[in-house]
Amino acid sequence: MTATDFDVESIRKDFPILSQKVYGKPLIYFDNAATSQKPQAVIDSLVKYYSEYNANIHRGVHYLSQKASIAYDDVRTKVQRFVNAETDKEIVFVRGTTEGINLVASSYGRKNIAAGDEVLISAMEHHSNIVPWQLLCEEKGAILKIIPMNDKGEIIFEEFEKLLNARTKFISIVYISNSLGTINPVKKIIAKAHEYGIPVLVDAAQAVAHLQVDVQDLDCDFMAFSSHKMLGPTGTGVLYGKMKLLEDMPPYQGGGDMIRSVSFEKTTYNDVPFKFEAGTPNVADVIAFGAAIDYLSNLNHATIESYEKELLNYVTEQLSEIKELKIIGTAKDKAGVVSFILEGINAMDAGMYLDTLGIAVRTGQHCTEPAMDFFKIPGTIRASFLFYNTKDEIDALVEGVKKAIKLLK
């Protein structure tokens, strides 16, 4: 199947929210980088859990608990296969990408980073991949260094190489920029880092919905991503870590399920991954996350990538013809994100006008304030796409932008 043969209208029928109207106009949802919409199978999974087998998991001897435990634990195996981890023990359930990064910074970082050590991140990182490392560096007296990017929004690899030295102890890098759409050469970055023995965390929040992600092929040491970016519910996600690293890390939080035995004198911790999963987990949303993985796994990833590339090329061509418009982030290798500014028009005003047309975009800094500062702008209008979007919707966006310019300039 080629992208041309991709039956997007059939796919759209799986997403009930896409058939609604906003202000009397058909909803055009271009805020997928913030959160993706959910297919009926995911919604049904949530309803089924709460209707049929709602119970706390693990250690329960009754039927509902055992059924819920099996359904929950099965998702760990689904995630393992989805990202090609070596074992499902390398899959830690967290609340999302943010918690996954914080877990690594707090657990691995506190144990392994010392005064004078250096941590590298890039100039295009989401705040969630900046602040945890700032906190760690402030606590430890370590130094946070920034991999620079060029005016297209691409990492300058030669400058990255120059930053590597014996003091570099960790690298945390975004796979796909949420505000620029840049697809970073993470495999190449990881290979170079490993020449120095430096572990690498990959923020894959945006990547998992767009690319076929393979942690063994990338050879990353950690990877964090969120369910809600990949058709699943909010409030759950994954931290992948190589087994040896996870085993050597201290717990992130204390509580139930992360222990083997507890006394007032000493606590013995559970095995990985349970050592990092304190307290009652988000059972319902993890199970529904499994339904999202099932849905994505049944799609042809090559076809999806090709179709989304068509959408990106199409919207880029159409918007580039508007003289008052400037695209921010023009990397050669991009995912389905187009960020732009309009000459003399406030981004929020434009976004609010587009909303009256039923077009959902995001405006502002997109939690990448340093990246916006690099481009010397207060923020952008961002349209982000998934495989259920269409060229007709892009046409409506382009016409809406033209109308906004006439109305607001």
Query: Is beta strand 143-147 parallel, antiparallel or unpaired with respect to 168-174?
Result: unpaired
C-alpha 353/C-alpha 363 separation (Å) is 12
Is 11 within 8 Å of 307 (Cβ atoms)? no
Q: Which of 34, 131, 322, 367 is catalytic?
A: 367
C-alpha 285/C-alpha 234 separation (Å) is 7
Tokens encoding 13: 């029928």
Tokens encoding 281: 């987990």
pLDDT single digits (tens) 242-284: 999 999 999 998 887 877 777 787 877 778 898 999 889 999 9
Note the pLDDT of residue 3. 58
Active site residue 367: yes
Partners of 341 in the beta sheet?
A: 326
- pLDDT-flagged residues of the chain (< 50): 1
C-alpha 206/C-alpha 245 separation (Å) is 24
Which alpha helices (DSSP H) does 86-200 contain, by range? 97-104, 110-112, 131-140, 157-163, 186-195
Note the pLDDT of residue 177. 98
Note the pLDDT of residue 4. 61
Identify the helix (H) or strand (E) that includes residue 14: none
* 44-297, CATH topology level: Aspartate Aminotransferase; domain 2 (3.40.640)
Phi then psi for residue 151, to 5 deg, are: -70, -15
Q: CATH 3.40.640.10: which residues of the chain?
A: 44-297
Note the pLDDT of residue 216. 98
CATH of 3-30+300-408, one of 3.30.450.90, 3.30.70.380, 3.90.1150.10, 3.40.50.720: 3.90.1150.10
In Å, how far from its chain's centre is CA 233? 13
Note the pLDDT of residue 320. 98
Which of 35, 59, 82, 38 shows the shortest CA–CA distance to 281? 59
Q: CATH 3.90.1150.10: which residues of the chain?
A: 3-30+300-408
- Sheet with strand 222-226: strands edge to edge: 91-94, 237-241, 222-226, 200-203, 168-174, 118-122, 143-147
